[in-house]
Amino acid sequence: MSSVNVRMRRDRGARRRGFTLVELLVVIAIIGVLVGLLLPAVQSARESARRSSCQNNLKQIGLGLQGYHDSKSALPPSIWDNKPQNNATATGASVAADNIPGIAWSALVLPFAEQADKYTRLQSACSNWTIQWQQNAGAVAVAQERIGMYNCPSNENFTAANTNRGSYGQNNYAANAGNGAYAAYPSKQGVMNVWDQPIRLQFSDIKDGLSKTLAVVERSSTRELASVAMSCGGTVCNWDGCLWVGGRLTGAQVWNSGVVADDVESYGGNNTTYLINRSDQTWGSAWGNAGPHAQGLFALYCDGAVTWVSETVAPITWGYLRSPADGKTFDPSTF
């Protein structure tokens, strides 16, 4: 066989091993279609995993509340405050001594939710709860730490401090404090309320039933996208999230920068002002409940069950779920 024929066969073989431009473009198009099909599925799987983690957080919080009740024969206060009447007034008190120790329900349940170390360090820094937690650098340092069970991974920057609230460790779950802001103290509108004397609720006080009454509900820390909706009185909602360490009833004092009652509590449900995921008031977002998940949020009931609540739930129904003894009961599985 001549060298010319051998060379020609080699050339034809080399050409057969290559791709034409059209073939390359077709392959690229197919890959693009596959990626387009797979990406939503991957994102959906990720969100499903995040939702599962969020549910598990609430279940762990529920176990903490149950353990606290077993130990103390009552549910924790939303905020442990020695002089709530003073700092609930229009003028407010100007000294930290009027908000001792200012610790939230979410800090008080830590020993019963496998977080005893943080609780012990916080208690020690507050001199066994005899000083306001913001008045001790050691307590502030603990308050700035993250606690995983209080962070829903569907929220943006869920591992970061809550920069909207004094840069303390954020919380995506708020205590059910009833259907409105405090008109007068004391109030037993919700399940966990501000406390300075033994007026805390027991499970036996929840006449509507533990499985029909909310204990803790999600509070998103994801800012609403202006391109999607403007759900707070025609403005963009910035839900801010909560704090796990504590709060105060009224607005800013020098010593309590970025800490108020709705940092640990949620209100709403008696009208359209505080619907979940939206509000008809421009200031309403921090008072209500919102989930970073589409179309609703997760809620913990007093019996420890965690269920999904749609954002389309009727306001009156939402309000009844927040009251422990209004005589109205609903099956959470129907929401």
Query: What does the pLDDT read at residue 184?
Result: 40
Distance CA 247, CA 261 (A): 5
Q: 238, 157 in Cβ contact below 8 A?
A: no
Distance, CA of 254 to CA of 200 (rounded, Å)? 30
**Nearest of 330, 264, 265 to residue 301 by alpha carbon:** 330
Number of domains in the chain: 1
Tell me what pLDDT residue 213 has.
92
Q: Which residues pair with 216 in a beta bridge?
A: 175, 300
Read off the tokens for 235: 């403005």
Amino acid 198: pLDDT: 47
Whether the Cβ atoms of residue 282 and residue 233 lie closer than 8 Å to each other? yes
Residue for token digits 């504590």?
Answer: 246
Paired tokens of 70: 């077993």
Tokens of 152: 């829903």
- Determine contact, residues 210/280, Cβ cutoff 8 Å: no
Nearest 5°: CA angle at 249, between 65 and 127? 65
Range of the domain at 194: 3-334
Asked if pLDDT for residue 88 goes beyond 80, the answer is no
- Average pLDDT of the residues of the chain: 82
What pTM value is reported for the model?
Answer: 0.82
The region of weakest confidence among 31-35, 75-79, 173-177 is 31-35
pLDDT in tens, 258-275: 788 888 988 776 556 778
User: How high is the pLDDT of residue 183?
Assistant: 45
Q: Which of 66-70, 85-89, 187-191 has the highest mean pLDDT?
A: 66-70
Can you spell out the DSSP letters for 142-160? HHTS--GGG--TTSTTTTS
b/e 308-323 (16+ beta carbons within 10 angstroms → b) = bbebebebeebbbbbb
Torsion angle defined by CA atoms of residues 112, 67, 79 and 138, in that order, rounded to the nearest 10 degrees: -20
- Please report the pLDDT score of residue 332 as a whole number: 59
| Mean pLDDT lowest among 21-35, 111-125, 130-144, 294-308 | 21-35
Q: Residue 154: which of 220, 62, 224, 226 has the closest Cα?
A: 220
